[in-house]
Amino acid sequence: MSETPERPSHVIVVLVGHPGSGKSALAATLARSVSPPGLIVSVRDVAKKMLAHLACTRADNFAHPRAENVMFRAGDGTLTSFNEALDDFYDSTRVALPWFVWVAHLRNLIDTHLTSPTGARFFIVDDLVHYDECEYVAQLPGATAFTVFLDGNPGKAVPRNKTRPAYHTREDIRDKALANYVGVFRFNTDLPLLECESRLLKFVTTCINITPQQRANFKIEVAAAAAAAAAQQKQAAEDAAAAATNDTKQPGGKQ
């Protein structure tokens, strides 16, 4: 893949998975594995700033080590922690707002780095929840981009909440990984963390190597299918024209 001053070649790894699947820990591992270090891009940070503005507090309060113990009273009078409020807000707004709102933020951040000679060239996105988001990122010019669905719940520390809106959109991405969609892969995280980290590094290296070929083969298949469909349409039109000609030559037919 050729490099240009305007948009150098770069890698984008999208990590997708249910809460507790290991996204944040494995994103940090990937970032440390390359030199210069990769950049972790999170749309959750955008939601954090939005909620901080609404709650009249600082965004870094949600990242405080004791955030889960800091309580405030919600609008309906119930007590909730900073962590719980952020989780509920993030999950709801991620599905309620159009998916392109979030990827626009990602693209702007990535483009800012690509236009800088010292900017990052390896990006880890944590996390997308719609397949359309993943496919949009995969089509960014000059990028080797793919999605890895982290399928597991190491330590079983975070229970699955199937009533949350994003649960089903994430499951859709998992289904596409199981169906071998181009550029969408599944990685099992029901393993000890150190083993997960080691295996993921090798897994991502393999994905970087095979994804461009996957997409090239897919384009060839699409072009071949389009050509075959066009040939069938042409043949059908010729057959119809021949049949009409034969009809006019039959006794009683129009001359």
70 within a domain of the structure (yes/no): yes
Q: Extract the tokens encoding 209.
A: 């190597």
**Residue 165: CATH number of its domain:** 3.40.50.300
240 within a domain of the structure (yes/no): no
Looking at the predicted structure, is the pLDDT value of residue 79 above 80? no
Looking at the predicted structure, is the pLDDT value of residue 38 above 80? yes
CB 166 within 8 A of CB 21: no
Q: Where are the beta strands (DSSP E) in 17-155?
A: 39-41, 71-73, 79-81, 122-126, 143-151
For 162-215, how does the pLDDT look when each residue is reduced to its tens digit (9 = 90+)? 888 788 999 999 999 999 999 999 999 998 888 999 999 999 999 998 887 877
* pTM value > 0.85: no
3 within a domain of the structure (yes/no): no
| Nearest alpha-carbon partner for 136 in 164, 163, 167, 98 | 98
212 within a domain of the structure (yes/no): yes
36 within a domain of the structure (yes/no): yes
Q: What is the pLDDT of residue 234?
A: 83
For 133-167, how does the pLDDT look when each residue is reduced to its tens digit (9 = 90+)? 999 999 898 899 999 999 988 766 667 778 887 88
Q: The domain containing residue 111 runs over which residues?
A: 10-217
More confident residue, 92 or 124: 124
Q: Is 134 exposed, middle or buried (0-12, 13-18, 19+ CB in 10 A)?
A: buried
170 within a domain of the structure (yes/no): yes
State the virtual CA torsion across 37, 43, 49, 50 in degrees, nearest 10. Answer: 170
Q: Count of domains in the chain?
A: 1
Mean pLDDT, all residues of the chain: 82
Looking at the predicted structure, is the pLDDT value of residue 11 above 80? yes
CB 177 within 8 A of CB 149: yes
136 within a domain of the structure (yes/no): yes
188 within a domain of the structure (yes/no): yes
Within 10 A of 49 (CB to CB), how many other CB atoms are there?
13
